Every structure is written in structure tokens, then in C-alpha cells.
Amino acid sequence: MVEKLGRVLVVDDDEVIRQLIAVNLQLEGFDVATAVDGRDCLDKVREVSPDVITLDVMMPRLDGWITAVRLREDPDTAHIRVVMITARAQERDLDRGMEIGVDAYVTKPFDPAELIRTVRRLSADRPAEQAPRPPGPRPPS
């Protein structure tokens, strides 16, 4: 029996990138859900109960920075590992991520193998009391 590596919520407004990330993570053995932007992420996060969130920075409605802040401010989601996926990785951006509590950065264009290694490492590093977690309050459909 193949053991699932963890649950990942992939958040990106670009459908091609979202599916590229999701498929690569699924092939690696992760349970993957997707969201189209930050607001969709915040709406789904409790239902999905991810171990790791990959979060694009530049998105409509609610960008990755604001989404990461809201995740960190909420005691129910503050423990979730966050990987920012961004074309912007200047020192200013990295400092901002550190202040927010982002766990890792992957710069676009990215190597899917690098992203998988990063997600695998963060998923494996989750606190013991968080692994494994049952799905959120709603039963699966």
C-alpha cells in the first residue's frame, strides 16, 4: 500500500500552472486540492485541511501576501506550511515573507522537481500532533 505523503492545497490563478503543480504533486503521492486565488484558498482551507499550501503571490481578489497573513493570524491555520511561488524574489520580498512566517520560496519559472522537494521537506517536518489530520468538518462528497 502506498502511503500518502500529505495533503497540499495548490493556489494559483493561472490554470496551467495550477494543474502543472497539482499533477506533479499527485504523481509524487500527495493528496492535492486546488484553489483559484487567495479568497478561494481561505474558503477551502478548513475543508481541505492541508499540511502544505503552495501560494502564488500575484493573484486577483486576494494576493498571496494577504492570504499568507490571514493564514498566520488564524489559530486554526497558523501551523500550515506555506510555500510562496513567485516571479518576485528580491530581498525585499524575502524579508516580507520572513515577517509573515512563510516557510519557503520557489521562484518562477520553477523546476517541478525543486517544488516537489520543497513540499516533501515541509510536509515531513510538520509537527507530530498535526500528522495525520482528518479532513475538515465537512464529510467528503
Q: Is residue 134 domain-resident? A: no
CA 44 → CA 4, 9, 25, 53, 86, distances in Å? 20, 9, 19, 11, 21
Q: What are phi and psi of 30, to 5 degrees?
A: -85, 150
Q: Tens digit of pLDDT for each residue in 24-72? A: 999 999 999 999 999 999 999 999 999 999 999 999 989 999 999 999 9
Distance CA 73, CA 36 (A): 21
Average pLDDT over the chain, rounded to an integer: 86
Q: Is residue 33 domain-resident? A: yes
Instruction: Name the pTM for this structure.
Output: 0.85
Q: How confident is the model at residue 107 (pLDDT cuts 50, 70, 90)?
A: confident
Count Cβ neighbours within 10 Å for each residue of 111-121 and write b for 16 or more, e otherwise: eeeebbebbbe
Most confident of 92-96, 121-125, 127-131: 121-125
Q: Is residue 38 domain-resident? A: yes
Range of the domain at 66: 7-122
The CATH code of the domain that includes 43 is: 3.40.50.2300
Q: Is residue 40 domain-resident? A: yes
Q: Is residue 140 domain-resident? A: no
Q: Is residue 135 domain-resident? A: no
Residue 140's pLDDT is what?
37
Q: Is residue 132 domain-resident? A: no
Q: Is residue 49 domain-resident? A: yes
Domain count along the chain = 1
